[in-house]
Amino acid sequence: MLRKIFKWIGILVLVVIVGGGSFAAHEWYADKPFMFRAYLDRTPVKVAFKDPETLTSLGFLESMGINGHNAHLDDAHPDGTAEFFAEMKAFGEGLSQYDNEDLDANEQLSKEIAQYLAGMMADMEPFQYHTYPANQTFGIQSAFPSFMDSSHQVHSPEDAENYISRLNELRRKHEQYLLGLKIREGKGIIPPRFVVDRVLEQMRDFRNTPAQENILYTSLARKLEEAKKINDAQAGAFLDQAEASINESVYPAYDLFINYFSELEAKAGNDDGYWHLPDGEAAYKLALRLFTTTDYTADEIHDIGLSEVGRIQAEMLEIFAAEGIDVSEGYSEAMDAYSSLPEFYYEDSDEGRAQILEDYQAILDDIDANLDDAFNIRPKAGLEVVRIPEFKEETAPGAYYEQPALDGTRPGRFYANLYDIKATPKFGMRTLAVHEGIPGHHFQVAIAMELEGMPLIRRFSLFTAYVEGWALYAERVAWEQGLMPTPADNIGRLTAELFRAVRLVVDTGIHHKRWTREEAIDYMLANTGMAESDVVAEIERYIVMPGQATAYKVGMMKILELRQKAMDRLGDQFDLRDFHDVVLKNGAVPLDILEKIVDEYVESTLASEQGSSLT
């Protein structure tokens, strides 16, 4: 496998080196099927090679002895964004030189996906500054320490030197970010006041931590201790350099942000939705299309959410009643009573949190061993459960998934948030493990990465409705396969689906119907039974990332719709394993393209059966 990767990467590097001119200059590609694949790969490869942090995260160049990029941070200058949109425009225009008649079915699908991406990028360009780069959930102020901790590997003295180099480059990157932040300010794109307050609190806490207690220092210390090629004397010297760099480079870089946001604080208001920004309504409409890959309006999504909330709560009330819970006062009270049962919670201690991680791993191992009736295809990459770094747990989501390294040196990771022990009830753990891990994100993402012969845009594209829709659909599959065997497990599954239905309501409520942050929090608290700390973090996430939260339920409902359509057409010929092969073996795609893929699978299966009956 590694030799294939080396060969594949070598080809891609050759494409980058040889293909230095404009896209239009290489019309001879169109006569060579292989060169169509090379054309599709060339733009993402060019983008990746401009971003040293991306190269580090992908993790394959180190296997070839190429690691100079690990000494540098990305270029965050606004001019780079303009260049990216220009490249995507040229890329989209260049696709027209490849006639469908000269492409096989899979290449035509790749072309259709590429055209979709290029068209979406063109639509996004006028709204490129309608974002909040510094935010409390996934902002630039927390991204750097997270990246250094999770992605920058230290196995040799050179790796440690590169680590120090990156610490010293941070001021340059923050100065570049400030240019973009000031452009937004000039356009009137200022985050709500609570976002500014949260970001300032995070940065001040980070800045006021003694250097030797900072995650940038402790992470390096751990990696040096584990590095076999670094002796104790070298490790001590590197740690001394890191301490100096944190004090002299990293903290001054954060001071730039602290000073800027301290002044911006007075300009920030209390309107939370995108509607309050210049062209905010148009920006939100585009966000919904981007994340759902549909043309559903905000009102349609809001109404779907309300309907689904009612349906799911009714199912849960039936289970509660069967479990002896009083349901006379409605869902909220019944959920509170159920979720208050002490047997569902771990000890609020380091030992309790360690046990949660162990139990998550045991759940994943059990589920992985019992999926043969539902899946033919499995990822080669492994999966491990780790805790979200404590410095960002308070405002981080309940869990998230990190893809494995392309060269197999790092497994996929399921990050669990252990900040609030009450936010990890045992009845929800199987569902969360399925969603983030197996057969959810880990199956979908790792399988896509491992698809041989596919262009990069098919292996790494992240159409959110497909990706998150699959993970939510996977929860349903695990239940159908008997892998959530208890009523508590089913309550956990329905709670998670209800959570995604509520998201349809609150996201559109905030950004379209002009709900306040407090109104959205109140609705989610009343209709989910989630811990208040989680609800606040979620609502604040939707405020800084409009539309994304709607993708999960929209995607799940579409996959279920397509599955039912295939079952109705195929009858006894329907095989769930084959259906999942069709969905997973094409990588992430827009939902309308997924429907075409499933329709073609149905027609092909019917034709095959008809042909065999004639013989």
Rounded Cα–Cα distance for residues 177 and 144 (Å): 13
Query: Does residue 158 lie within any of the structural domains?
Result: yes
Query: Does residue 594 lie within any of the structural domains?
Result: no
Rounded Cα–Cα distance for residues 329 and 140 (Å): 45
Residue 60: the pLDDT is 65
Query: Does residue 615 lie within any of the structural domains?
Result: no
Residue 613: the pLDDT is 57
Q: Is the pLDDT of residue 14 over 70?
A: no
Question: What 3-state DSSP class applies to 400?
Answer: strand
Is residue 503 within 8 A of residue 549, CB to CB? The reply is yes
The secondary structure of 196-249 as a DSSP string is HHHHHHHHHHHHTS-GGGSHHHHHHHHHHHH-TT--HHHHHHHHHHHHHHIIII
Number of structural domains (the chain) is 2
Listed residues 247, 276, 305: the one ending a domain: 276
**Which residues 6+ apart lie within 8 Å of 358 measured at CB?**
none
**Where does the pLDDT of residue 29 fall: very low under 50, low under 70, confident under 90, or very high at 90 and above?**
very low
Rounded Cα–Cα distance for residues 530 and 63 (Å): 44
Q: Are residues 213 and 292 in the same domain?
A: no
Rounded Cα–Cα distance for residues 319 and 487 (Å): 7
Q: Are residues 410 and 482 in the same domain?
A: yes
Q: Are residues 196 and 294 in the same domain?
A: no
Query: Does residue 84 lie within any of the structural domains?
Result: yes
What distances in angstroms separate CA 538 from CA 41, 46, 319, 398, one per listed residue?
35, 35, 26, 9
Mean pLDDT, rounded, for 491-501? 96
Kindly report the average pLDDT of the chain as a whole number.
90
**Where does the pLDDT of residue 11 fall: very low under 50, low under 70, confident under 90, or very high at 90 and above?**
very low
Q: Are residues 172 and 191 in the same domain?
A: yes
Q: Are residues 17 and 94 in the same domain?
A: yes
Mean pLDDT, rounded, for 328-332? 94
Structure-token pair, residue 105: 């079915």
Chain Cα centroid distance, residue 201:
25
Query: Does residue 612 lie within any of the structural domains?
Result: no
Lowest mean pLDDT among 45-54, 333-342, 502-511: 45-54
Q: Is the pLDDT of residue 511 over 90?
A: yes
Mean pLDDT, rounded, for 139-154? 94
Query: Does residue 613 lie within any of the structural domains?
Result: no
Q: Are residues 413 and 473 in the same domain?
A: yes
Q: Are residues 249 and 130 in the same domain?
A: yes
Per-residue pLDDT tens digits for 90-138: 999 999 999 999 999 999 999 999 999 999 999 999 999 999 999 998 8
Q: Are residues 99 and 182 in the same domain?
A: yes
Listed residues 525, 555, 585: the one ending a domain: 555
Query: Does residue 596 lie within any of the structural domains?
Result: no
Q: Are residues 495 and 435 in the same domain?
A: yes
Listed residues 219, 245, 276: the one ending a domain: 276
Q: In which domain, by residue range, is 338 found?
A: 284-555
The secondary structure of 406-472 as a DSSP string is TTSSS-EEEEE--SSGGG--GGGHHHHHHHHTTTTHHHHHHHHHT-TT--HHHHH---HHHHHHHHH
Residue 202: the pLDDT is 95
Q: Are residues 174 and 299 in the same domain?
A: no
Per-residue pLDDT tens digits for 562-615: 999 999 999 999 999 999 999 999 999 999 999 999 999 999 999 987 666 555
Structure-token pair, residue 59: 């993790």
Q: Are residues 76 and 127 in the same domain?
A: yes
Residue 614: the pLDDT is 53
Query: Does residue 604 lie within any of the structural domains?
Result: no
Q: Is the pLDDT of residue 435 over 50?
A: yes
Q: Are residues 8 and 67 in the same domain?
A: yes
